[in-house]
Amino acid sequence: MAIQSITMPQLGESVTEGTIEKWLVQPGDTVKKYDPLAEVVTDKVNAEIPSSFEGVITELLAEEGQTLPVGAVVCSIEIAGDGEVPASLPAKKSTVSAAILNAGIQKKQESPKEVTAPIASANSVRQQKNRYSPAVLRLAQEHDIPLEQVVGTGEGGRITRKDLQQLIDAGNIPTPKDVTPSEPVATTASSQPVAAIETPTKPIASSPVLQTGDIEIPVTNVRRAIANNMVRSAQEVPHAWMMMEVDVTDLVAYRDSIKMDFKQKEGFNITYFAFFVKAVAQALKEFPMMNAMWAGDKIIQKHDINISIAVATDDALFVPVIKHADEKSIKGIAKEIHELAQKVRTGKLTMDNMQGGTFTVNNTGAFGSVQSMGIINYPQAAILQVESIVKKPVVLPGGMFAARDIVNLCLSLDHRVLDGLVCGKFLNRVKEILENTNKSSTSVY
């Protein structure tokens, strides 16, 4: 018999960690290959970790609610045979599948002990620099926890969300005065004590006071993951905004003239949004810098044009991807929008549906919005909000007034990657394409 370890898989681009939301197995359970072991939440998607072996669960090495980096061992399985097992095996896709990364045959590891995070020494502080996850930073900020004074119990001494939660629950949040010097304090030649330096601390934000009739809604892991990703984007990305008004009167007339026959023939709706996604994909091909990402010491200009679209449920937001949108017809894009939305609402969205996005288009107009500023879908460089189409009086050539169908396109951009010039040209090109979409010049097939 051999012990095999299952590790936290890579659950998407730029994802570095995942949170065990719920274990689906317990020690002693017999599992088959591809059986789901646990539900995992990241800032991108919910997923299941499937087993790549058949055997008996021997130990769960992570607790529900614990956040682990990619590659960390989460559980061990006893399998038949003593031979070597390949380091990685292809994973069977499930409704929310994820690739399994295995660490090969491992020695049985001891379960992590429940330890209240102690005050850190100077050496451990240095080791923990730049090892803070977004969840840890959020908790530290909310509860005024000096991270340099906390020793982590995670892999390699990393501070985890659980470490901070234990301090918060125990009311044992360290303050600057809690630090015990590891070396004697130096004195002057006259043996006069060195004056202590007051370290300013920010006031702890108080929680809102509950009044009669107020309802407390627990934050789900999905909502927390969304919040963390939004905070990361807002904090790391210097957002800039631009808006342009577009006359889509001819587009509206064209779509309205074909929508009934199209639905009867194809079995799904031809929406305005499909025309907008197609126009954006075409413009991205002409302005490839818009299809780029910030990567620290370089900018990566993506070759494939993969459009992320936002699909909301009652308590979550998912951003599935239309791959190679520039190669698809308006009909093909409309079909994919319909199928991805159905997958989100029926819980059948896969990891493959979520990966590879290079630019996001958000249909905020579906809710009646006429102007909005979207938060960029990290690590992309821009997001375009398509607002509601409204009737407006417009002055035509010759001084005549007419009621026209007008839509606002609102662009949020990463100012590290993009400047106003290229964004203005890009939006103007999208505007030009949309204003020249009509029955005589445009085919949906």
Catalytic positions:
415, 419
Length of the chain: 445
Residue 140 is encoded by which pair of tokens?
């530290």
Of the candidates 159, 149, 317, the one whose C-alpha atom is nearest the C-alpha of residue 233 is: 317
Q: What is the per-residue DSSP string for 354-395?
A: HS---EEEE-GGGGT-S---PPP-TTBSEEEEE---EEEEEE
CB atoms within 10 A of CB 176: 14
Structure tokens at 191: 């043996």
Encoding tokens for residue 441?
Answer: 């010049």
Q: Rg of the Cα trace of the chain? A: 27
Angle between helices 134-143 and 161-170 (to 10 degrees): 20
41: enclosing H helix or E strand: strand 36-41
Cis before 90? omega within 30: no
Tokens of 134: 């977004």
